């Protein structure tokens, strides 16, 4: 089966700063993304939810409770239950330190407009739905509006194979229209680990068969010789997460991984220099 190549024009190994340079600045903020760029990181990884008014906001958790003060966390509501006008006032920086108190959740388009195409971006879809999910279509439509800026500069991933499959269908549909025929295809990846929050059927990568994805994102603990051999036969590259030790990064790459996701991109400079 033909696969969409994984960022073929980018130097190997691929290095994605996890939620930006999240060990040096508050995760999933413009400060963290800019910090990654300042250190020379070639790529970033981020997470998106859809707001109540249909905006794509960059945030990891299902609520803002962990990353915002108790009196300014959206009342503990999900991003999907809040408008972006409400979300843009939430302080998601001071949990990391008082100097970051001005940081607010950015919109996806703000990040892509500033960083692409110089950097590549892995967009993780945060959704638990198996149907009637607006997130995949909204993302496809947003990426269409950005056109050449994101062409060959983004990938899309998720723990949710249904969400990922829907995105691929919508994106292919957009590309087949006359006005969008020149848009590049976007590689997609299924993410997995053995965590109990992940449905047991999806804890070892079987979501790839549902999603029809192009590459794979296992936790580094599940990067094993036998599975890597199997994935190579399927023509699916591997990017492992979250790798914060240089020796572990080298081990993953030697095992066949084409890239890593790390909280410490500054420590990984030797990998791409």
What pLDDT is stored for residue 181 in this prediction? 64
pTM: 0.97
pLDDT per residue as tens digits for the range 151-200: 999 999 999 999 999 999 999 999 988 666 678 999 999 999 999 999 99
Mean pLDDT along residues 201-221: 97
pLDDT per residue as tens digits for the range 213-234: 999 999 999 999 999 999 999 9
Q: Is the pLDDT of residue 129 over 90?
A: yes
Is the CB of residue 59 less than 8 Å from the CB of residue 47? Answer: yes
Pairwise CA distance, residues 268 & 41, whole Å: 8
pLDDT per residue as tens digits for the range 39-83: 999 999 999 999 999 999 999 999 999 999 999 999 999 999 999
Q: Is the pLDDT of residue 273 over 80?
A: no
Q: Give CA torsion, residues 107, 119, 229, 213, to 10 deg.
A: 40
Q: Which two tokens stand for residue 234?
A: 């399927």
pLDDT per residue as tens digits for the range 2-53: 899 999 999 999 999 999 999 999 999 999 999 999 999 999 999 999 999 9
Enumerate the active-site residues. 18, 60
Label residue 269 by pLDDT band (50, 70, 90).
confident
What pLDDT is stored for residue 178 in this prediction? 64
Query: How many C-beta atoms surround the C-beta of residue 8 within 10 A?
Result: 9
Q: What is the 3-class SS of the chain, one letter each residue?
A: CCCCCCCCCCCCCEEEEECCCCCCCCCCCHHHHHHHHHCCCCEEEEEEEECCCCCEEECCCCCCCCCCCCCCCHHHCCHHHCCHHHHCCCCCCCCCCHHHCCCCCCEHHHHHHHHCCCCEEEEEECCCCCCCCCHHHHHHHHHHHHHHHCCCCEEEEECCHHHHHHHHHHHHHHHCCHHHCCCCCCCEEEEECCCCCCCHHHCCCCHHHHHCCCEEEEEHHHCCHHHHHHHHHCCCCEEEECCCCHHHHHHHHHCCCCEEEECCHHHHHHHHC
């Amino acid at each position: 089966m033909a696969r969409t190549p994984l960022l073929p024009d980018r130097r190997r190994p691929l290095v994605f700063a996890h939620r930006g340079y999240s060990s040096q600045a508050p995760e999933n903020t413009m400060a963290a993304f800019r910090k990654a760029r300042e250190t020379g990181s070639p790529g970033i990884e981020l997470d998106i939810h859809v707001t109540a008014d249909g905006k794509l906001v960059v945030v990891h958790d299902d609520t803002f409770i962990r990353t915002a003060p108790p009196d300014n966390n959206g009342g503990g509501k999900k991003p999907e239950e809040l408008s972006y006008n409400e979300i843009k006032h939430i302080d998601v920086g001071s949990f990391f330190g008082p100097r970051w108190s001005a940081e607010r959740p950015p919109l996806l388009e703000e990040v892509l407009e500033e960083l692409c195409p110089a950097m590549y971006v892995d967009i993780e879809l945060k959704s638990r739905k198996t149907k009637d999910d607006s997130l995949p279509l909204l993302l496809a439509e947003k990426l269409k509006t950005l056109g050449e800026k994101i062409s060959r500069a983004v990938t899309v991933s998720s723990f949710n194979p249904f969400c990922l499959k829907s995105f691929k269908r919508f994106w292919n549909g957009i590309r087949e229209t006359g006005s969008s025929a020149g848009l590049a295809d976007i590689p997609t990846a299924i993410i997995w680990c053995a965590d109990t929050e992940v449905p047991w059927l999806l804890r070892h990568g079987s979501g790839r068969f549902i999603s029809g994805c192009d590459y794979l994102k296992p936790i580094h603990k599940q990067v094993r010789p036998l599975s890597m051999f199997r994935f190579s036969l399927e023509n699916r590259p591997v990017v492992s997460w979250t790798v914060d030790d240089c020796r572990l990064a080298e081990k993953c790459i030697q095992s066949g991984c084409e890239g890593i996701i790390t909280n410490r991109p500054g420590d990984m400079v030797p990998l791409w220099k």
